[in-house]
Amino acid sequence: MTDTRRAILDALADGPADGPTLADRLDVSRAAIWKHVEALREAGFAIQSGDDGYRITAVPEYGGPAVAYGLDAPYEVEYHDSIGSTNDRARQLPAEGAPETVVVADEQTGGRGRLDREWSAPSGGVWLSVFARPSLPPARVPLLTMAAAVATAEAAREAGVDARIKWPNDVLVERDGDVRKLAGILTEMEGEADRVSWVVVGVGVNANVDPADLPDGSTSLRAERAHAGRDPADIDRRTFAQRVIERFHECRGDPDAVLPAWRDRSDTLGRRVRVDTPGGEVVGEAVDVEPPGTLVVETAEGVRRVSAGDCEHLRPAE
């Protein structure tokens, strides 16, 4: 989307505005404004022109302009109906000199999890990658993964699904004693010793997806709402994606608030866990997280601090 089109959307999100005012404000011709308004209509926006100017009366269900419309965070939005992986696409943006951007797709054909695992991403999910150039030392980047988990869990809760976080980056829902995976996060970065060049934080949320089309042990927002006897209709992916992006952005601006928010939504703290780490297995009670996202585990041999690994929640007897 062009800068001007995004600026028109931002202006109209605040209320109606007429062509001359928009042209003046954005320093383009009235003909250019008209052309962009037509393009937005083609993208599915209903835009009335009345006495007070252009007024948006309906927004498309999903897509780039839909996610950009009213988005309260300073990212470009790039949308694909289908793409290999939004993380792969976002990783190309630094070389293109792009501004901070969220890459969004309806479907991914080559979605990736951590450690080269596959991520199923059929049409109907919220698959997005935030490309950012934060002024952070690389050692603090795990905070962004935690921030994305917080943003996702909170957005799910606002959508009526009580999601909790399993360290470090799984967003889960517990139902009838079973725990199912709703979302996952994949953070990738490039940087020097003291400075990050860029990060890509990929967030995958099973929104309006049938769990039968996902690996065993998965669930979706739509399925959870239906089970809870709530509205079985599709969830509004536009609002959901916006909330994830906005909350993530808020966390970026207030890094000290990330771990307290993470603790609040955590399902790991207070549980017995087994963490598979590059340095071996750590078993004990997860008692805290410390900056930038280190899990503190009380084991029979004393306290261990774990910064990376796969975590499994154990039943108390195990």
Judged by CB under 6 A, the chain residues 154 through 183 that form the site for ligand BT5 are: 170, 181
Asked if residue 152 binds ligand BT5 (CB under 6 A), the reply is no
For residue 159, what is the DSSP state?
T
> What order of strands is seen across the sheet that includes strand 272-277?
302-306, 294-299, 280-290, 272-277, 310-314
Q: Does 248 contact ligand BT5 by CB under 6 A?
A: no
Is 132 a binding residue for ligand BT5 by CB under 6 A? The answer is no
Q: How far is CA 29 from CA 12, 54, 309, in A?
A: 17, 16, 55
Contact between residue 272 and residue 313 where contact means Cβ atoms under 8 Å apart: yes
Binding pattern for the stretch 79-98 against ligand BT5, x by CB under 6 A and - elsewhere: ------xxx-----------
Would you count residue 313 as binding ligand BT5 (CB under 6 A)? no
CB crowding 135-148: b at 16 or more within 10 Å, else e: ebebeebbbbbbbb
Candidate list 8, 185, 196, 223; residue touching ligand BT5; CB under 6 A = 185
Task: Decide whether 5 or 181 has the Cβ nearer to ligand BT5.
Answer: 181
Binding-site residue total for ligand BT5 (CB under 6 A)?
29
Query: Residue 204, interface with ligand BT5 (CB under 6 A)?
Result: yes
Q: Are strands 76-83 and 101-108 parallel, antiparallel or unpaired?
A: parallel
| 117 belongs to the binding site for ligand BT5 (CB under 6 A) | yes
Q: Select the residue interacting with ligand BT5 from 101, 145, 187, 206 (CB under 6 A).
A: 206
How far is Cα 189 from Cα 196, in angstroms, rounded to an integer? Answer: 7
Count of all residues that appear for the chain in the document: 318
Residues that bind ligand BT5 (CB under 6 A): 85-87, 108, 111-115, 117-121, 127-129, 170, 181, 184-186, 202-204, 206, 214-215, 218
